[in-house]
Structure 1
Amino acid sequence: MTAPNVIDQPRPSPQQEPAARTASTWHSQIPDDKAMLRAAAELTRDIATARAAIYWPDMLGSAALGYAALAGAILLDSPLAALACGLLASLALYRALLFIHELTHIHKDALPGFRFVWNLLVGIPLLIPSFMYEGVHTQHHARTRYGTIEDPEYMPLALMKPWSLPVFALTAILLPPALLVRSALLVPLGVIIPPVRKLVWERASSLSINPQYRRRKPEGAFARMVFWQELGASIWAIALVAASIAYGWRPLIIALCVVSLTAFLNQVRTLVAHLWENDGEAMTVTAQYLDSVNVPPPALLSPLWAPVGLRFHALHHLLPSMPYHSLGECHRRISAHLGAGSTYEQASYKGLMPLLTRLARSTMRAG
């Protein structure tokens, strides 16, 4: 899907009117800002190590709070108290789940045991083992794939019809029951029916949004990891269904509703992670950066809807391996070094609602 009358316009400068900045985009081959790329690399080398003292308490605390609140949502008699617990559970589990993003980028030896424990406590219980993101998300960062048909995490949403945005967001609500069916039924069925196994792997084994993406068969050590994670998720899913048949469906339905809200929050965050204005061409690193979004301080609510460093998503595309706890300091250093009016500053936005409004206006122009 293309929109030459929009895509071929140049990127507005910071001095132009805000309305003009909202109404236009830039060509995918905007030249790289080498000063920005150099500053990003040189100013942040000393804070590029993942710190176990931050990762472990954050992940474990988020998971513990999420499960405790989920128990309250299931067990409390007061509807208001149960609803409050459900909302808290959704936010806490959202943060715990998003450590899957860190797992795709940190070195395999950086945090011994972290991947295993995260899968045991978060990935498998919520039926989203880390293999569903590992080996997929890195393709989104590939220099020649970002924004193209080969990018599993890109759709030109800004160039699509206005109705595509609510559909995109609301379909996330169906993810938890779909994952339950996948692990409890389709994966075991695939053991005895190879075509089902092939279909499930290609089409339903990755956290991707590009409907044309097909996942390649796993190999080597990764295939062994997939086997054990799939086995754990299937055993857990079958146990959930069996327990619900034996003792009642209410706890499982409440849990699915809580995780559906988590999936919806993540889908809304995804809507504003990028500007989604590329129509399929390969992009320079700077163009990829400008098609991505930072929502830095003083935005107060961004840590809630974009936790674990994802409020610095554009910066993350400059420094993919930078641990989430260092991104705030990276942003401060680069901003101070490059100053106001720099290319770096152009990827910063004020908050969720201005970004959603910008995206909706883009779809209305495209439509």
Structure 2
Amino acid sequence: MESSLRLDGGATAGVRDGHPRTASPRAADDKQMLRTAAELTRDINAVRPGIYWTDLIASVAIGYGALYLAATLAAVGWAVVAGVVAVLALYRALSFIHELTHVKHATLPGFRLGWNLLVGIPMLTPSFLYEGVHNLHHAKTRYGTVEDPEYLPLALMNPWTLPTFVLVAALAPVGLLIRFAILSPLSLVIPSLRRVVVERYSSLSINPSFRRRMPGGAFAAQWVRIEAAASLWAITLLVLVATGNLPLSAFAVMLAVSSGVAVINQVRTLVAHLWENEGEAMSVTAQYLDSVNVPPPAVLPMLWAPVGLRYHALHHLLPSLPYHSLGEAHRRLGAALDEQSPYHKSSHTGLPALTRRLVMSTLRGR
């Protein structure tokens, strides 16, 4: 879900209404940076299953425990605190969907199934909504173009686009209930609806023109199994509420926490890139400069950009590097590359500065 104010990376910089832009999308790749990034991270490229499982299980335990407290505590103040903890912990757990699209599943056996059972199905965001979609965002010839499902030139759009972008995320839990409790069953008996559901309502994307292809092979069979489970869970939730077995107040808390998770992710998406590319294919270096790192000493990115998402630019440079290695990779590259390297130009101080930059860009207009 996650590109492009083009930071000066050795190529000629542009200016739009006094606002500095990044290098041209067609700027030549900085081969030294790309070579150094590959060489310095070979020894930390292996997935460590223990870290993945421990992190996921801890996040799930804290998240669902806090959600239970938020729904049952009589003291409003403590219920709100528990709700905030639930949002942050479940957001971290949900963020592993990003890792699922990059990791080789043979190196992390059972993790996709475990993640779907613990997070994807209960939160109605199963892995197939991202797998087969996010990889298109990383395709060199698609990134930042109209064929990129996770790209819009947000910095060049009208100011009202940004609050609308966030509001849509706030309503996501209701949309997911409709998607899985109503549209999934209906699409089984209405073939034309099935195609619409797959093409338009089966991907975590922000590009409204994106249309997903019908799945095939083993992935299609996996999709059907996971979608059936998510559909049954969504129907069960609604039946429990309708019969009074799940109090309406508890259901409202669940929706509020899910909405909070979606909003944080959407805000994080707003600052994951600089969003100024107007549809041209971009070099790898330009894609990197169009993306954002928020490294230490900033502390809060651990909460709003968890599971390695604070190193989003570095991730675009080394998409197969596991999340637990990104911090070390950043330290190594920062020390090895001189101050003139484009590598240093994608580091930003934090969410407020990035948000202000994006808002100011929309206000300047085109």
Structure 1 gap ranges (5+): 1-5
Give the TM-score taking structure 1 as reference length: 0.94
The offset of 1:197, in angstroms, is: 1.1
Find the counterpart in structure 2 of residue 216 from structure 1.
Answer: 213
How do 1:1-367 residues align onto structure 2 when only pairs under 5 Å count? 11=8, 23-247=20-244, 248-366=247-365
The offset of 1:23, in angstroms, is: 3.5
Give the TM-score taking structure 2 as reference length: 0.95
The offset of 1:11, in angstroms, is: 2.5
Provide Cα deviations, 1:150-197, integer angstroms capped at 9, x if missing partner. Answer: 000000001101111111112100101100111000100101111111
The offset of 1:10, in angstroms, is: 8.0
The offset of 1:123, in angstroms, is: 0.2
Most deviating of 270-279 and 335-344? 335-344
- Equivalent residues of 1:292, 1:314 under 8 A apart: yes
Percent identity of equivalent pairs: 58
Query: Which amino acid letter does the alignment assign opposite residue 270 of structure 1?
Result: T
Whole-Å separation in 2 of the counterparts to 1:200 and 1:28: 34
CA RMSD, 1 decimal: 1.9
Provide Cα deviations, 1:327-356, integer angstroms capped at 9, x if missing partner. Answer: 000000011110223210000000001001
**Shift in CA distance, 309/161, structure 1 to aligned 2, threshold 3 Å:** same
Whole-Å separation in 2 of the counterparts to 1:87 and 1:118: 22
Provide Cα deviations, 1:298-350, integer angstroms capped at 9, x if missing partner. Answer: 11111110000000000000000100000000000011110223210000000
- Equivalent residues of 1:12, 1:24 under 8 A apart: no
Report how many residues are paired: 358
Q: Which has the higher contact order (CA 8 A, sep 6+)?
A: 2
- Equivalent residues of 2:22, 2:289 under 8 A apart: no
- Equivalent residues of 1:12, 1:20 under 8 A apart: no
Query: Which amino acid letter does the alignment assign opposite residue 326 of structure 1?
Result: S
Whole-Å separation in 1 of the counterparts to 2:209 and 2:324: 34
**Shift in CA distance, 205/365, structure 1 to aligned 2, threshold 3 Å:** same
Find the counterpart in structure 2 of residue 3 from structure 1.
Answer: none
Structure 2 gap ranges (5+): none
Whole-Å separation in 1 of the counterparts to 2:188 and 2:266: 31
Query: Which amino acid letter does the alignment assign opposite residue 38 of structure 2?
Result: A
The offset of 1:249, in angstroms, is: 2.0
- Equivalent residues of 1:293, 1:314 under 8 A apart: yes
**4+ residue stretches of structure 1 with deviation over 2 A?**
9-14, 19-26
The offset of 1:13, in angstroms, is: 6.8
